[in-house]
Amino acid sequence: MKIRIKFTKSGPLKFIGHLDVMRYFQKAFRRAEVDVEYSQGFSPHQLMSFAAPLGVGLTSDGEYLDVSMHTCDAPEIMIKKINEAMNEYIQVVGFMVLPDSSKNAMSIVAAADYLVSVKDGYETMDKAVFKWKFTDFSNKDSIIITKKSKKSEKDVDIKPMIYYTAFEQDKFREGIGTADGKDRVLHLAADCYTNGIKVFMQLATGSVNNLKPELVMEAFCQYAGEVFKESAYQVHRMEVYADLGAGTNRKLIPLDKVECLTG
């Protein structure tokens, strides 16, 4: 059966690359004695795939992996069992059985939420200045950046790929329509910084359109006349979505809610 697992990644494990996270889960599943399905042959491997690989240095509250299992217990039991075989820095927070017909996570990724924080010691402006400058920046009609590939350079307008931005979590959740009326602010696995300079953003993600938050910050720095330094920002992913809308009408649904709505 197809299983989708949602997990967090935080603390020192942000320095673990995507392939190593896969190995981490393979070993964790074996320690937890989860009944994972293996490929056939002399070097069998677990049938597993990730929704959207997270870069080294990034943390997350909303990572997804799909894995095949022969059998499993109720989600709460499975979450407990797997978490007991792992450490606090990668923890399973969701476990759902998918219909056999469902598409794998990677193929349906359309958007993601991020929190970008300025690390302490890297502030170039104070919080208030950052807010109004960033607001001006995101209100522009177009945001042109030069994308460099191996062969060519081309100008791209990233503005259409920035779906929403806000400076506070409750505002952000309201704006993107995920506020549930109960918890105004959710606890994040992200690191906190005392300077308080941060921005939440919902961006196009996936194989059709893909915008990295680092690129948004680079464009912002260009706009604000600052030198862009990648290590100045901590990027934290909060959620990953599929788009169930038609045409240009987006209907973004978190990957762990997709089947509940369509199934």
Could you say whether residue 117 binds other proteins (CB under 8 A)? Answer: no
Coil, strand, or helix at residue 117?
Answer: strand
**Which of 139, 152, 231, 249 contacts other proteins by CB under 8 A?**
231
Residue whose C-alpha is closest to residue 146's, from 52, 222, 48, 37: 222
Q: Nearest Cα to 95, choosing from 261, 258, 256?
A: 256
Binding of other proteins at residue 192 (CB under 8 A)? no
Helix pair 127-138, 213-224: axis angle to 10 deg = 100
Q: What CA–CA distance (Å, rounded) separates 167 from 185? A: 13
Question: Binding of other proteins at residue 72 (CB under 8 A)?
Answer: no
Residue with tokens 């045409």: 247
Q: What angle do CA 14, 115, 3 make, to 5 degrees?
A: 60
Given 68, 69, 80, 89, the residue binding other proteins (CB under 8 A)? 89
Kindly determine how many residues on this chain lie close enough to bind other proteins according to the rule CB under 8 A: 33
By CB under 8 A, tell whether 84 contacts other proteins: no
**Contact call for residue 234 and other proteins (CB under 8 A):** yes
- 193-212: contacts with other proteins (CB under 8 A): none
CA 115 – CA 200 distance, rounded (Å): 4
User: Which range binds other proteins by CB under 8 A, 71-79, 159-167, 226-234, 244-252?
Assistant: 226-234
Question: Does position 56 bind other proteins by CB under 8 A?
Answer: yes
15 contacts other proteins (rule: CB under 8 A): yes
- Show the tokens assigned to 174: 């309201």
Q: Cβ of residue 12: shortest distance to other proteins, in angstroms?
A: 4
The residue among 13 and 188 lying less far from other proteins, judged by its C-beta, is 13
- 119 makes contact with other proteins (CB under 8 A): yes
Give the DSSP H or E segment for 169.
Answer: helix 169-176
> Judged by CB under 8 A, does residue 106 bind other proteins?
no
CA nearest neighbour of 176 among 123, 245, 252, 105: 252
Could you tell me how many residues make up the chain?
Answer: 263
Q: Is residue 20 helix, strand or coil?
A: helix
Cα 11 to chain centroid distance, Å, stands at: 16
Closest distance of CB 15 from other proteins, Å: 4
Q: Which is nearer to other proteins, 123 or 243 (CB)?
A: 123
Minimum distance from residue 154 beta carbon to other proteins (Å): 27
Footprint of other proteins on this chain (CB under 8 A)? 11-13, 15-17, 20, 23-24, 26-31, 33, 38, 41-46, 56-57, 85-87, 89, 119, 230-231, 234
